Amino acid sequence: MTRLLLPLDHHAEPADTAELALLHRLKALPRRVQQVFLLSRLDQLTYAVIARRLDLSDASVERHMNQALQATLPAPAPLARAAGQWYVRLQSPLITASERIDFRRWLDADPEHLAAFHATELRWRSLLAPARALGENLWYRQTRAAFSLGGCTVAMGLGLAAVLALGFWY
């Protein structure tokens, strides 16, 4: 994981309405994207660990994380999108030294780039409370889908029908 530019002890307390808006945006994401995001944000797992745990490629994990972070943008802004993509890419085990140099050049090219990257870090930190709400029952830690009550009911019904059908044959 890359070193963040802001000190770790910084705590941003977003307003309740802002947290609810972020939670709503996160809930709108596909379930697998939510799972990858929560494993990263709440459990602080690296992309490589998440990939192994969910049997995904590192690139898929990175794509899901980028999708989650981009979904939290209040409005599409090219600079914010680029900063988010860099933020996610810097966490990836696939990042190369050349890409790190490109990031540094991008960051140094314009003071607005640095400001956008700091804003992305702050946004990432503001996602902790919505992430806790989204993952409160720890569903995201399951490596595969659990049997639902509906699915079990259907299976039991089919089994009972099979037993009854066999009973009529004998």
Q: Which two tokens stand for residue 143?
A: 């490596």
Domain-located, residue 1: no
Output phi, psi for 82, to 5 deg.
-65, -45
- How many domains are contained in the chain? 1
**pLDDT tens-digit map of 9-68:** 444 444 578 888 889 999 999 999 999 999 999 999 999 999 999 999 999 999 999 999
Domain-located, residue 163: no
Alpha helices for the chain (secondary structure H) = 16-27, 31-41, 47-54, 58-71, 78-91, 97-109, 111-126, 128-134, 149-169
Domain-located, residue 2: no
For residue 42, the model assigns a pLDDT of: 94
Domain-located, residue 157: no
Domain-located, residue 91: yes
Domain-located, residue 122: yes
Domain enclosing residue 74, as ranges: 16-144
Domain-located, residue 149: no
Domain-located, residue 7: no
pTM score: 0.72
Output phi, psi for 72, to 5 deg.
-85, -5
In terms of Cβ atoms closer than 10 Å to its own Cβ (0-12, 13-18, 19+), residue 83 is: buried
